[in-house]
């Protein structure tokens, strides 16, 4: 298995690694003892499973080489993501192969640290505790907390709890969208979170719903959003977004309405008011908005009356439209009211049943209400709980407001069992750690919404001494109950048997098929609901703390969700699209505030709330509402803590949760993230942010271009003007075979960074760390640029995925003294690592600066090196590298075609970035084949080349973004 060799060599001596090779160590190669039918060495096999990085539950295909997973891709058959995957899903591998993964069971000795133990010993402790408690009849003192498990696994956990007489299980998800449930109870009398049919909407009116980042199911909804919004044969939907901060989602809006934080509800009602007054909605809705006066509303919300009016028009005239709420809009003390108002908007516009579909309800509806979590916290603090069992993926000590005092409460619990497989803030408080297998190593199932059941199967053998939580619980449960296998309430020997028996009725004998498809998928009929119209309290959200302070917007991070993904160094290094910052958290401060306090980017600020203070570097943003500061959730320095790799760990917390009170939404009792006003003070020290993009101003260079919707329509009708051939003295190169090319639709790109991480995973791109990244030494082959146009306070944002343009007249090639950079016969710009001497001339001469240089010998700390793609060379220090258009996939695709004795067809070869793109902005294909999608798109009137005037004649064609007239 030759591609594995370099692990030894690289770790041994950098100089001799990838291209040295003069020395030869004898090494042994081991044959299998018994051949494994599923695995042929050197040939990838794929296993379908479900991504558990967040509750969205996307389908995943895991690529297995020689028994190890090297890449994750979306499952095309899965109804939620249909082949796409977000950056967090792509980075799940880093959790699987995390260097800090817990090696085996650990037991705390007295008050001191952990010491490793055998499974038997560790389980024995748990059993003893369980039996003792049951013996004392204190079953209720046992609490079981897990992440959202909507399928049979959840049922098993509940059954375990009942069998032992424990408290009802608590499923802990910080982002539970309870107010939506509550509001639906009120308006539609249905306790559920519906399916929002973006694809059918003409206009989407979003109140803070960050559906491109984290809201409900970001991949699924981003996909559907692209379908309704991106320009296709002359038609394109409209998207209006209301939020005090320009989030990534907001920056994709055709119109971004910046409102005073906490006034979304009022704004919604004002819009409804206009609709009623102007006869765009049924009179009956009048009583819902009886108390709302447009002028006053305009003042309080800080949104001009005209804006409200025309938003109302745009929304009401859409057939159908869709209004959604989420993010900061529905996490205030008035969250439920806000969502009720939004529901009324949908009802008034007649969207219910069309774009708002009850029936295929989201699994989020099954999350334990926050009230119960709070109750559990109180119980623990009161000493009622004597045994706490924490499932993998739950980290309440980090992901819940410190106002709940959860960490202290947990410390009060006599016996805490954690199933975490990577140490986190909560497992540190445990007494026994029984590392559960990573979801890629486990059996399980997950139903993201009604009718969709995804099945999890082990895609590889566990790389650490960890066991499925289910198995452990079954074993200790039986031991505690004194029953043996096959009998009693917990008869199943392992969770695998349990699941297979549970699935039997669903898969109807065809388990193989179901596993191959990745689950059992059915359509669920839309349930009819009627809206109850009642007056809504339109008062803005109440905020604790200094009245003169700034509203704190703590928002879920695109990259880390609630922080569970922060262990991935890939994600730490993939920039936040809006700020382009990596490896650090920041507090976003509006320009006005910055000027008042004399703050520059990188100045350390103390963010003070009644709960405490948080010290973070400032990021000055011209777009943020002056009355607010924003801090992303989920940031923590965790990658490779034990090795102190990549970034100097900072003792100070970066988690806004530490300054949030235990505030709740009055009506639903849901956790309120927007609940406090903070004051800023400048500390005088600095912590420069690692920001990858030097400037967001294109300086009139038209790198990312846009076209007006009307113009785009005309062009689409007229077609593209024929492109005159370039003038040259020399004969052009002829391509005997195919000529590869790529098109990227800037209009479809939503800037979600999935492609960046996918590329990193596919091409063995190393992680360089904060210092290097800040100094222009990041190695991403594909980078996602944000270019801002127009007024700085409300810019039009253009997202430009920039990768090697594979120019036909490539400036990098002729300057290379050794032909390491050259033009292949298939129109690629080849880069031969083992020929490269490292003069870096090509890097200077590339006008796009997409060439990356190996400044050091970058490490892949064990066991991360196991993830490396065997088909891609790991580059040695001192060589140039860059996007190869996944040449290894091209080779594989041609090989497959030759096996089938045919030529390469369109779609045979899919690059990693294209494969994972939720909005299908990227198309790869043969430009000589007139029929290929890529070629068709290059003929589009919107097609252009970046820096065309230089005459490099790139093989990557971009399609202009279509901007709406009023944007």
Partner 1 sequence: MATETILGVFAHVDTTVRALEELRARGYHDLTVYTPIPVHEIEEVLERDRPVSRVRLFTLLGGLTGIASAFLITIWTSMVWGQVTGGKFLQLVPGGIIGSSLPPFFIIAFEMMVLFGGFATVIGMVVLGRLPRLKASASFDPRFTNDRFGVAVHCAPERAAAVHELLRTAGAEEVKSR
Partner 2 sequence: MTAKAGVGALGVALLAILIFLAVSSWSRQPAVAKPSNQPINFPHNVHVGTYKIDCQYCHSEARRSEYAGLPSVERCMGCHKITGAALPEVKKLAEFHAKKEPIPWVRVNKLPEFTYFPHKAHIRAGLKCQTCHGPVETMTTYAAQTGPRLTNDLLNLVGLRPAPPPLTMGWCVDCHRKENATAGRHAPLDCVTCHH
Partner 3 sequence: MSDGHSTPPTFADVNRDVLRTLEPPGNLYFAWMCVVALLLAGFFFAWAGQVWWGMGMAGKRVPQMWAMYITTFVFWIGIGHAGTLISAILYLFRARWRTSIYRAAEAMTIFAVMTAGLFPLIHAGRMWFAYFLLPYPNQRYLWPNFRSPLVWDVFAISTYLSVSTVFFIVGLVPDIAALRDASTGWRRRIYAMLALGWEGADNQWRHYRRAYGLLAALATPLVLSVHSVVSWDFAMALVPGWHSTLFAPFFVDGAIFSGFAMVLVLGLPMRHFFKLHAYIQEKHLDAMGKLILVTGLVLTYFYLCEIFTSLYSGEHIEKASLFWKVTQNYAWALWTMYFCNCVAPLVLFSRRARTSPVVLYVVSILVLIGMWFERFNIIVPSLGHDFYPYTWGIYYPSPTDTMIVIGSFAFFFLLFLGFIKVMPSLSIVEVKETIPAPMREKAHGH
Q: Please, which residue, 109 or 895, has the CB nearer to partner 2?
A: 895
We find the least distance from the C-beta atom of residue 736 to partner 3, in angstroms, to be 20
Tell me the longest C-alpha to C-alpha distance in the chain.
93
* C-alpha separations of 562 from 664, 743, 891 in Å: 18, 34, 39
State both tokens at 54.
């967040």
Q: 904 φ, ψ to 5°?
A: -75, 130
Distance between CA 308 and CA 224 in Å, rounded? 26
Distance between CA 495 and CA 471 in Å, rounded? 5
CB 786 within 8 A of CB 693: yes
Read out DSSP for 573-631? HSPPTTT-EESS--EEEEHHHHHHHT--TTEEEEEEETTEEEEEEEEEESSS-TTEEEE
> Per rule CB under 8 A, is residue 731 in the interface with partner 1?
yes
Of residues 191-210, those binding partner 1 (CB under 8 A): none
Q: Please, which residue, 634 or 830, has the CB nearer to partner 1?
A: 830
Q: Please, which residue, 10 or 58, has the CB nearer to partner 3?
A: 10
What is the residue whose two structure tokens read 């199932």? 445
Burial class (CB in 10 A: 0-12, 13-18, 19+), 620: buried
361 binds, among partner 2, partner 1, partner 3, none (CB under 5 to 8 A by kind): none
> Per rule CB under 8 A, is residue 119 in the interface with partner 1?
no
Instruction: Work out which of 31, 137, 505, 651 binds partner 2, going by CB under 8 A.
Output: 31
> What are the beta bridge partners of residue 744?
922, 958
Distance between CA 342 and CA 268 in Å, rounded? 6
CB 83 within 8 A of CB 73: yes
* Helix (H), strand (E) at residue 92: helix 92-96
Of residues 792-821, those binding partner 3 (CB under 8 A): 802, 811, 814-819
Distance between CA 155 and CA 151 in Å, rounded? 7
Of residues 495-554, those binding partner 3 (CB under 8 A): none
> Per rule CB under 8 A, is residue 735 in the interface with partner 2?
no
> Per rule CB under 8 A, is residue 645 in the interface with partner 3?
no
> Per rule CB under 8 A, is residue 523 in the interface with partner 2?
no
Of residues 892-921, those binding partner 2 (CB under 8 A): 895, 898-899
Stretch that binds partner 2, among 14-22, 47-55, 522-530, 739-747 (CB under 8 A): 14-22
701 binds, among partner 1, partner 2, partner 3, none (CB under 5 to 8 A by kind): partner 3
CB 551 within 8 A of CB 303: no
C-alpha 934 chain-centroid distance: 27
CB 562 within 8 A of CB 556: yes
809 binds, among partner 1, partner 3, partner 2, none (CB under 5 to 8 A by kind): partner 1
> Per rule CB under 8 A, is residue 700 in the interface with partner 3?
yes
855 binds, among partner 3, partner 2, partner 1, none (CB under 5 to 8 A by kind): partner 3
1 binds, among partner 2, partner 1, partner 3, none (CB under 5 to 8 A by kind): partner 2
What residues have CB less than 8 Å from 28, skipping those under 6 apart? none
Closest Cα partner for 82 from 59, 55, 50? 59
Q: Please, which residue, 525 or 891, has the CB nearer to partner 2?
A: 891
Closest Cα partner for 751 from 698, 697, 802? 802
What residues have CB less than 8 Å from 706, skipping those under 6 apart? 746, 789, 796, 798, 960, 961, 962, 963
> Per rule CB under 8 A, is residue 32 in the interface with partner 2?
yes
Q: Left, alpha or beta for 455 (phi > 0: left; psi -120 to 50: alpha)?
A: beta
Of residues 810-869, those binding partner 3 (CB under 8 A): 811, 814-819, 835-841, 843-845, 847-849, 852-857
Cα atoms in the Cβ-side hemisphere of radius 13 Å centred on 298: 10
Distance between CA 166 and CA 297 in Å, rounded? 50
> What are the beta bridge partners of residue 603?
686
Of residues 34-93, those binding partner 2 (CB under 8 A): 34-35, 40-43
Stretch that binds partner 2, among 27-35, 224-232, 418-426, 682-690 (CB under 8 A): 27-35
> Per rule CB under 8 A, is residue 15 in the interface with partner 2?
no
Q: 343 φ, ψ to 5°?
A: -55, -45
Distance between CA 961 and CA 257 in Å, rounded? 20
847 binds, among partner 3, partner 2, partner 1, none (CB under 5 to 8 A by kind): partner 3
State both tokens at 44.
């990838």
> Per rule CB under 8 A, is residue 871 in the interface with partner 2?
yes
Q: Please, which residue, 521 or 822, has the CB nearer to partner 2?
A: 822
Of residues 803-832, those binding partner 2 (CB under 8 A): 819, 822, 824-826, 828, 830-832
> Per rule CB under 8 A, is residue 872 in the interface with partner 2?
yes
Total residues at interface with partner 3 (CB under 8 A):
53
953 binds, among partner 3, partner 1, partner 2, none (CB under 5 to 8 A by kind): partner 1
Instruction: Work out which of 22, 37, 115, 730 binds partner 1, going by CB under 8 A.
Output: 730
Letters for 252-281 (x = contact with partner 3 by CB under 8 A, - = none) are ------------------------------
> Per rule CB under 8 A, is residue 928 in the interface with partner 1?
no
730 binds, among partner 3, partner 1, partner 2, none (CB under 5 to 8 A by kind): partner 1
CB 69 within 8 A of CB 512: no
Q: Please, which residue, 678 or 846, has the CB nearer to partner 1?
A: 846
833 binds, among partner 3, partner 1, partner 2, none (CB under 5 to 8 A by kind): partner 2
Stretch that binds partner 2, among 3-11, 293-301, 450-458, 767-775 (CB under 8 A): 3-11
CB 38 within 8 A of CB 45: yes
State both tokens at 746.
């800037």
> Per rule CB under 8 A, is residue 725 in the interface with partner 1?
no
> What are the beta bridge partners of residue 964?
none
What is the radius of gyration, based on Cα positions, of the chain?
A: 28
> Per rule CB under 8 A, is residue 691 in the interface with partner 1?
no
Query: Interface with partner 2 by CB under 8 A: which residues?
Result: 1-3, 5-6, 9, 17-19, 21-22, 24, 26-35, 40-43, 819, 822, 824-826, 828, 830-835, 871-874, 884, 887-888, 891, 895, 898-899
Binding footprint of partner 3 on the chain (CB under 8 A): 14-15, 19, 692-695, 697-701, 703, 772, 775-777, 783, 785, 802, 811, 814-819, 835-841, 843-845, 847-849, 852-857, 876-880, 947, 950
Binding site for partner 1 (CB under 8 A): 728, 730-733, 808-811, 813-814, 816, 819, 821-823, 953
């Amino acid at each position: 298995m030759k591609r594995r060799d370099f692990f030894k060599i690289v770790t041994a001596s950098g100089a001799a690694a990838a291209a040295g090779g003069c020395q030869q160590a004898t090494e042994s190669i081991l044959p299998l003892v018994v051949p494994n039918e599923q695995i042929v060495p050197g040939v990838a096999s794929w296993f379908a499973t479900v991504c558990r990085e967040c509750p969205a539950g996307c389908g995943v295909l895991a690529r297995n080489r020689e028994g190890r997973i090297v890449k994750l891709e979306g499952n095309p058959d899965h109804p939620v993501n249909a082949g796409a995957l977000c950056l967090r899903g792509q980075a799940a591998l880093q959790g699987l192969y995390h260097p800090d993964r817990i090696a085996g069971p650990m037991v705390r000795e007295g008050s001191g640290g952990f010491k490793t133990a055998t499974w038997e010993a560790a389980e024995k402790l748990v059993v003893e505790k369980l039996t003792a408690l049951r013996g004392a009849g204190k079953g209720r003192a046992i609490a079981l907390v897990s992440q959202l498990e909507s399928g049979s696994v959840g049922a098993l956990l509940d059954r375990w709890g009942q069998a032992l007489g424990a408290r009802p299980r608590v499923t802990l998800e910080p982002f539970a969208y309870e107010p939506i449930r509550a509001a639906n109870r009120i308006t539609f009398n249905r306790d559920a979170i519906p399916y929002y049919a973006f694809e059918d909407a003409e206009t989407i009116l979003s109140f803070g719903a960050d559906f491109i980042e984290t809201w409900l199911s970001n991949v699924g909804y981003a996909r559907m959003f692209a379908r309704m919004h991106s320009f296709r044969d002359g038609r394109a939907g409209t998207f209006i977004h209301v939020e005090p901060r320009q989030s990534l989602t907001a920056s994709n809006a055709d119109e971004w309405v910046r409102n005073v934080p906490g006034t979304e509800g009022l704004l919604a009602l004002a819009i409804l008011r206009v609709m009623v007054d102007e006869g765009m909605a049924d009179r009956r809705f009048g009583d819902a908005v009886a108390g709302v006066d447009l002028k006053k509303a305009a003042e309080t919300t800080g949104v001009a009356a005209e804006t409200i009016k025309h938003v109302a028009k745009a929304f009401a005239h859409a057939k159908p439209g869709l209004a959604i709420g989420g993010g900061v809009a529905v996490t205030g003390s008035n969250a439920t009211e806000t969502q009720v108002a939004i529901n009324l908007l949908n009802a008034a516009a007649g969207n219910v049943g069309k774009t708002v579909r009850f029936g295929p309800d989201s699994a989020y509806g099954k999350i334990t209400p926050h009230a119960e979590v709070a109750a559990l916290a109180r119980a623990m603090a009161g000493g009622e709980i004597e045994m706490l069992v924490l499932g993998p993926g739950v980290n309440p000590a980090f992901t819940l407001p410190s106002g709940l005092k959860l960490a202290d409460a947990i410390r009060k619990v006599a016996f805490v069992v954690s199933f975490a497989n990577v140490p986190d803030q909560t497992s540190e408080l445990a007494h026994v750690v029984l590392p559960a297998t990573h979801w890629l190593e486990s059996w399980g199932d997950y139903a993201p919404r009604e009718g969709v059941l995804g099945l999890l199967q082990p895609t590889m053998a566990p790389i650490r001494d960890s066991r499925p939580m289910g198995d452990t619980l079954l074993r200790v449960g039986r031991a505690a109950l004194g029953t043996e296998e096959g009998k009693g309430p917990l008869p199943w020997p392992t969770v695998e048997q349990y699941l297979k028996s549970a699935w039997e009725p669903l898969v109807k004998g065809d388990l193989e098929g179901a596993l191959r498809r990745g689950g059992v998928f059915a359509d669920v009929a839309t349930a009819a609901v009627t809206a109850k119209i009642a007056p809504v309290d339109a008062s803005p959200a109440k905020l604790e703390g200094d009245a003169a302070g700034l509203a704190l917007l703590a928002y879920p991070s695109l990259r880390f969700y609630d922080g569970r993904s922060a262990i991935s160094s890939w994600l730490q290094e993939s920039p936040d699209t809006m700020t382009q910052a990596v490896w650090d958290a920041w507090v976003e401060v509006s320009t006005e505030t910055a000027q008042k306090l004399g703050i520059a980017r990188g100045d350390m600020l103390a963010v003070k709330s009644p709960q405490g203070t948080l010290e973070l570097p400032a990021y000055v943003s011209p777009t943020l509402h002056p009355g607010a500061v924003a801090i992303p959730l989920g940031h923590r320095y965790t990658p490779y803590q034990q090795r102190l790799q990549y970034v100097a760990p900072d003792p100070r917390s970066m988690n806004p949760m530490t300054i949030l009170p235990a505030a709740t939404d009055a009506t639903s009792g849901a956790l309120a993230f927007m609940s406090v006003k903070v004051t800023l003070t400048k500390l005088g020290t600095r912590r420069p942010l690692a920001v990858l993009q030097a400037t967001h101003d294109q300086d009139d260079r038209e790198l990312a271009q846009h076209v007006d919707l009307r113009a785009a329509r005309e062009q689409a009708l007229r077609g593209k003007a024929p492109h005159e051939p370039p003038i040259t003295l020399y004969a052009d190169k002829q391509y005997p075979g195919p000529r590869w090319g790529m098109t990227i639709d800037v209009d479809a790109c939503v800037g979600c960074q999935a492609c960046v991480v996918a590329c990193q995973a596919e091409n063995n791109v190393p992680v360089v760390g904060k210092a290097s990244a800040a100094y222009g030494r990041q190695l991403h082959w594909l980078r996602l640029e944000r270019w801002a146009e127009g007024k700085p306070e409300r810019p039009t944002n253009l997202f430009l995925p920039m990768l090697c343009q594979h120019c036909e007249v490539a400036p990098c090639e002729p300057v290379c003294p050794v032909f390491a950079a050259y033009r292949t016969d298939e129109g690629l710009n080849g880069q031969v690592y083992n020929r490269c001497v490292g003069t870096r001339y090509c890097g200077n001469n590339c006008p796009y600066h997409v060439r990356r240089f190996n400044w050091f010998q970058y490490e892949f700390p064990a066991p991360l090196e196991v993830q490396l793609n065997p088909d891609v060379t790991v580059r040695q220090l001192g060589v140039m590298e860059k996007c190869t258009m996944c040449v290894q996939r091209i080779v594989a695709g041609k090989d497959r075609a030759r096996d089938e004795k045919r030529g390469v067809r369109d779609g045979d070869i899919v690059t990693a970035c294209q494969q994972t793109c939720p909005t299908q902005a990227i198309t790869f294909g043969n430009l000589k084949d007139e029929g290929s999608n890529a070629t068709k798109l290059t003929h589009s009137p919107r097609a252009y080349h970046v820096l065309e005037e230089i005459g490099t004649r790139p093989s990557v064609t971009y399609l202009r973004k279509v901007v709406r007239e009023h944007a």
